[in-house]
Amino acid sequence: MAYTRANQRRGSDVVCVMSPAGCSHLNVFKVDNWKQNLRVVYQCFVWSGSAETRKRKAKSCICHMCGAHLNRLHSCLHCIFFGCFTKKHIHEHARTKRHNLAVDLLYGGIYCFVCQDYIYDKDMEQIAKEEQRKAWKLNPSLKSPSQFLHKYSTWEPTKRELELLRHNPKRRKITANCTIGLRGLINLGNTCFMNCIVQALTHTPLLRDFFLSDRHKCEMQANSCLVCEMSQLFQEFYSGHRSPHIPFRLLHLVWTHARHLAGYEQQDAHEFLIAALDVLHRHCKGDDNGKKANNPNHCNCIIDQIFTGGLQSDVTCQACHGVSTTIDPFWDISLDLPGSSTPFWPLSPGSDGGVVNGESHPTGATTLTDCLRRFTRPEHLGSSAKIKCSGCHSYQESTKQLTMKRLPIVACFHLKRFEHSAKLRRKITTYVSFPLELDMTPFMASSKESRMNGQYQQPVDSLNNDNKYALFAVVNHQGTLESGHYTTFIRQHKDQWFKCDDAIITKASIKDVLDSEGYLLFYHKQFLEYE
């Protein structure tokens, strides 16, 4: 928005043409004490650093036409008028009064009603930044304003960085065939279980962006933080080096912080994933906060922002039909498979060779949708598991149903291929068809009304994209329970897949991925919501 539009009249129409010179309509505002006036607007109505200014903003900042507090309030820069942007009350004021400039009271952007766009002005931007910094320092709710400023202030290159950019004008371009980020990992002795998870994590988009932007601020002792080592690992992966990386420091830290994984025996990749996320979660919070944040649902670290979802459990009393609801955080969903000792729920209507949730599969094949449908079906707990109903005040039989209350950005599905019981230990090799794109809407708590006897009825509104996911990594296990090997398929670009087998990385086809047995399936949300 560093461009403006110069007005040209054709009859009664106004045609706006972009010009790099800057918005000419600012000249009307930039007279006399305009800088001081703008500072007052930012201090009182936009950033509001002190408690007094926040109270003043809460009382006075309402739309002068409809009385609403929300709907993207804007303040006129020419007079004292607040108006809704959504309902176009501020537009009506600008048209009748010919006051063409207004400031967004939430983000501080300047809007020109003649240009019909938010505009950029260097002097105004500088004032906005200065007042924003002052507000942060005045805010008493911040324990460490300087730390907050360091974390959230706008990045600007230093003189040293500008000098490096001038002396290194060559830029690295990302092409369709780019292999930046692809790097093999040396097996340090039955460590394929770790290597396959590292490949999946280093190709998780938001996790990659976090570590490559140097966002982690370590509060631990030197060489003991797993997050610091992961940060270094991302730097190694995206450095452009092609030789396999030796993750010996990562292995050492895993052994230190997850002692049940120590040793050179083959471990379970799923167990390593959960242990790694747990340690990363604790180390992201730092020493003191990490010990307090035992519940991932009350944490805002990067791990929980990406991987944590909310699982809703509804227990319904069979006598009074009262419902008791609890919501628990989860990092992954473990799904039962046909062929296990646990009876599997009947297959989906698409098992006759149709297409369900984008899964085209042969007759009789089990799908990921089948497994999810079984996971979220109502389950009768039986007379041996009666619970005390808060409505009946007595022990009654009940049904339990799990659904997704809140979806994570990255959904990890664990197909339970390793069965351990008192009588047998074995691997379940049942083929499960999984799609490239997955819609989780049928398994949401909000979709329960559309269920009949565990069968989901397709909603009329199929345009909701909030719950749609795309596959980006698949971990596979070859061999037996006692002797096996882990590999990973990862997506480099939309339709480019690679197989990571420790130090060896080879090109793979989509068919190779979808035909694989599948042990851990990683899906990423296609559309992200911003709070």
Catalytic residues: 192, 485
pLDDT at 332: 92
Could you report the per-residue pLDDT of 268-293, keeping only the tens digit for each?
899 999 989 988 888 886 433 333 44
User: Can you give the pTM of this predicted structure?
Assistant: 0.65
Whether 482 contacts 190, CB under 8 Å? no
Name which of 262, 206, 202, 259 is nearest 232 in CA terms.
202
Measured in residues, the chain has a length of: 531
d(CA 86, CA 281): 39
Burial label for 237, CB within 10 Å (0-12, 13-18, 19+), is buried
Average pLDDT over residues 222-245: 86
For residue 143, what are the CA distances in angstroms to 139, 152, 252, 362, 438? Answer: 9, 15, 35, 59, 42
Task: Please list the alpha-helical segments (H only) found in 360-506.
Answer: 368-375
Could you report the per-residue pLDDT of 139-161, keeping only the tens digit for each?
655 444 444 444 445 567 788 88
At residue 530 the predicted structure's pLDDT band, cuts being 50, 70 and 90, is low
Name which of 327, 325, 309 is nearest 317 in CA terms.
325
Whether 37 contacts 47, CB under 8 Å? no
Name which of 23, 477, 7, 32 is nearest 266 in CA terms.
477
Average pLDDT over residues 52-61: 81
Could you report the per-residue pLDDT of 448-492, keeping only the tens digit for each?
655 544 454 555 444 457 789 999 999 999 988 778 899 999 998
d(CA 511, CA 513): 5
Count of H-run helices and E-run strands, the chain:
14, 29
Whether 274 contacts 187, CB under 8 Å? no
Could you report the per-residue pLDDT of 95-119, keeping only the tens digit for each?
999 999 999 988 888 999 998 888 8
Helix (H) or strand (E) run with residue 395 in it? strand 395-396
pLDDT at 305 over 50: yes
Average pLDDT, the chain: 79
pLDDT at 243 over 60: yes
Tell me, rounded to whole angstroms, the distance of Cα 209 from its chain centroid: 11
pLDDT at 341: 65
> In 293-320, which positions are buried (b, 16+ CB within 10 angstroms) versus exposed (e)?
beebeebebbbbbbbbbbbbebbbbeee
Whether 508 contacts 497, CB under 8 Å? yes
Classify 271 as helix, strand or coil: helix
Place of tokens 């001081």: 36
CB count within 10 Å of CB 7 equals 12
CB count within 10 Å of CB 17 equals 10
Which pairing describes strands 410-415 and 333-335: parallel, antiparallel, or unpaired? parallel
pLDDT at 411: 94
Q: Is 96 or 315 the better-scoring residue by pLDDT?
A: 96
Place of tokens 């319904």: 316
At residue 9 the predicted structure's pLDDT band, cuts being 50, 70 and 90, is very low
